[in-house]
């Protein structure tokens, strides 16, 4: 009931036109972003187009290493929908992916296999290290078999702390990664 | 009901099982008797006989776990077998432990895989993690540790993480 009322009032605002005083800061941000987009598109259209395509279709590999993968499953679910960011896990093989999210603990036995999977992905590719165990070894820092940090085998772009991180934090990580890609040069 | 060392009442089930071990005399020494827990110390020469007795007469048919403890001062390893029962309603919730001390220089003891087949993987894990050698086991060797593990078994007290500074 409340949602319907809010939705109705928002659409009423839109019908009144952009000059109405109620839109305020939202409108100026929208105009600022539109200006940025047009500047980039005119200055370097190939880069802009390539980055636009890469940003909004990040496909992750199904590499569930440890318990953080449950949170990743929650992010892929209907409540914290990851597919609205382009991050969908429905594909054929890892040769079609460009994102690898390392969920959790990586043991010394798993580390060469992780590197093998990372090497098989085609460029460009990005890595998100999710959870305390993949950043520094987490709770198992002193273990004889746990790699203290996955950035010893793969180059990490975004670190997501937490044990496990809330699904909203992982969504924030996707947005950070999208910002990084949008502002990068293509090779 | 009898009294245990801590003064609490020991239920009669554990007491009766504990008294069954008295027929072995010196070969089996009851270490403690508590509610749902019973620990018996045996020697490695008598391990197979007592394990057969546990399976056939006491009706414990499930080897739940095999663990090892390192006692560096006495230079011994204590290998403990934990048994539970899957069928007897009278033995519900009870875990019987057989503990066997072997010297660290010669950590061999007979494998109980022919009597309790469920001890298979647990014996492999104990052999890899603490260095015990179970004679008669068909497949001891590199199991869970990485293939290029070249250090001492990691569950020994003398194990040190490589590259760490130790506080003196």
A143 → chain B, closest CA residue = B161
Distance from CA of A149 to the nearest CA of B (A): 15
DSSP state of B160: -
Mutation target to probe the A interface, by most A beta carbons within 10 A, among B145, B153, B158 is B145
Residue A21: pLDDT band with limits 50, 70, 90:
low
Second CATH level (architecture) for the domain B2-135: 2-Layer Sandwich (3.30)
3-state SS string for A71-111? HHHHHHCCCCCCHHHCCCCCCCCHHHCCEEEEECCCECCCH
Give B-chain residues touching A108 at CB under 8 angstroms.
146
Contact between A109 and B161 using a beta-carbon 8 Å cutoff: no
List, for residues A49-92, the tens digit of each pLDDT value: 888 888 888 888 878 888 888 898 889 889 988 888 888 876 76
Mutation target to probe the A interface, by most A beta carbons within 10 A, among B156, B161, B165 is B161
pLDDT the model gives residue A5: 47
What domains sit in chain A, N to C, each tagged with a CATH number? 57-182 (3.40.50.12280)
pLDDT the model gives residue B167: 66
DSSP state of B69: E
Contact between A109 and B147 using a beta-carbon 8 Å cutoff: yes
Contact between B146 and A107 using a beta-carbon 8 Å cutoff: yes
Of the candidates B25, B28, B29, B30, the one whose C-alpha atom is nearest the C-alpha of residue B15 is B30
Q: Could you tell me where the beta strands, DSSP code E, fall in chain B?
A: 2-3, 9-10, 28-34, 37-42, 62-71, 76-84, 95-103, 108-110, 133-135
Distance from CA of A108 to the nearest CA of B (A): 7
Contact between A109 and B145 using a beta-carbon 8 Å cutoff: yes
pLDDT the model gives residue A187: 64
- Ordered by start, the domain boundaries in chain B are 2-135
Of the candidates A136, A134, A114, the one whose C-alpha atom is nearest the C-alpha of residue A125 is A114
For residue A28, pLDDT beyond 60: yes
For residue A12, pLDDT beyond 70: no
pLDDT the model gives residue A173: 92
Show the tokens assigned to A43. Answer: 């200055």
User: Containing H/E element for A45?
Assistant: helix A45-55
Mutation target to probe the B interface, by most B beta carbons within 10 A, among A144, A147, A148, A149 is A144
What's the Cα-to-Cα distance from B64 to each of A74, B39, B79, rounded to whole Å? 34, 14, 14
pLDDT the model gives residue B125: 92
B143 → chain A, closest CA residue = A109
Of the candidates B146, B152, B123, the one whose C-alpha atom is nearest the C-alpha of residue B51 is B123
Spell out the per-residue pLDDT of chain B, length 168, in tens. 444 455 456 677 788 887 787 888 788 888 888 888 889 999 989 899 999 988 888 888 889 999 999 999 999 999 999 998 887 667 888 888 999 999 998 999 999 999 999 999 999 999 999 999 999 999 888 888 888 888 888 889 888 888 777 765
Phi/psi for B57 (5° steps) reads -95, -40
pLDDT the model gives residue B100: 92
- Whether A171 contacts A85, CB under 8 Å: yes
Residue A7: pLDDT band with limits 50, 70, 90:
very low
pLDDT the model gives residue A138: 87
List, for residues A103-157, the tens digit of each pLDDT value: 888 998 999 999 999 999 988 899 999 999 899 988 888 888 888 889 899 999 9
Q: Residue A54 pairs with which residues in a beta bridge? A: none
- Whether B21 contacts B28, CB under 8 Å: yes
Residue A37: pLDDT band with limits 50, 70, 90:
confident
pLDDT the model gives residue B8: 56
Mark A10-49 as b/e (b = at least 16 C-beta within 10 Å): eeeeeeeeeeeeeeeeeeeeeeeeeeeeeebeeeeeeebe
């Amino acid at each position: 009931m409340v949602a319907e009322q809010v939705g109705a009032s928002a659409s009423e605002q839109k019908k009144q036109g952009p000059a109405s005083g109620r839109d305020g800061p939202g409108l100026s941000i929208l105009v600022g972003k539109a200006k940025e987009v047009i500047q980039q598109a005119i200055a370097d259209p190939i880069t802009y187009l390539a980055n636009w395509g890469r940003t909004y279709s990040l496909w992750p590999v199904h590499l569930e290493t440890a318990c953080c993968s449950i949170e990743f499953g929650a992010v892929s679910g209907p409540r914290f929908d990851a597919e609205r960011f382009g991050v969908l896990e429905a594909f054929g093989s890892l040769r079609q992916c460009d994102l690898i999210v390392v969920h959790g603990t990586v043991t010394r036995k798993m580390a060469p296999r992780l590197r093998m999977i990372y090497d098989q992905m085609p460029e460009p590719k990005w890595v998100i290290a999710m959870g305390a165990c993949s950043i520094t070894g987490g709770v198992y820092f002193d273990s004889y078999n746990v790699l203290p940090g996955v950035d010893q085998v793969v180059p990490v772009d975004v670190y997501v702390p937490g044990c496990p991180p809330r699904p909203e934090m992982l969504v924030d990580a996707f947005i950070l990664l999208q910002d990084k890609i949008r502002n990068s040069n293509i090779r | 009901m009898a009294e245990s060392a801590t003064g609490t009442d020991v239920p009669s089930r554990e007491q009766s099982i504990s008294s069954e071990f008295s027929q072995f005399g010196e070969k089996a020494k009851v270490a403690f008797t508590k509610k749902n827990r019973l620990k018996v110390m045996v020697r490695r020469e008598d391990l197979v006989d007592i394990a057969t007795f546990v399976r056939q007469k006491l009706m414990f048919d499930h080897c739940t776990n095999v663990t090892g403890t390192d006692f560096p001062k006495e230079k011994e390893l204590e290998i403990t077998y934990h048994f539970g029962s899957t069928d007897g309603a009278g033995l519900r919730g009870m875990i019987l432990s057989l503990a066997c001390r072997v010297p660290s220089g010669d950590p061999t003891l007979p494998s109980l895989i022919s009597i309790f087949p469920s001890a298979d993987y647990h014996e492999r894990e104990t052999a890899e993690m603490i260095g015990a050698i179970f004679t008669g086991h068909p497949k001891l060797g590199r199991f869970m540790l990485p293939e290029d593990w070249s250090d001492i078994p990691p569950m020994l007290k003398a194990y040190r993480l490589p590259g760490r500074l130790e506080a003196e």
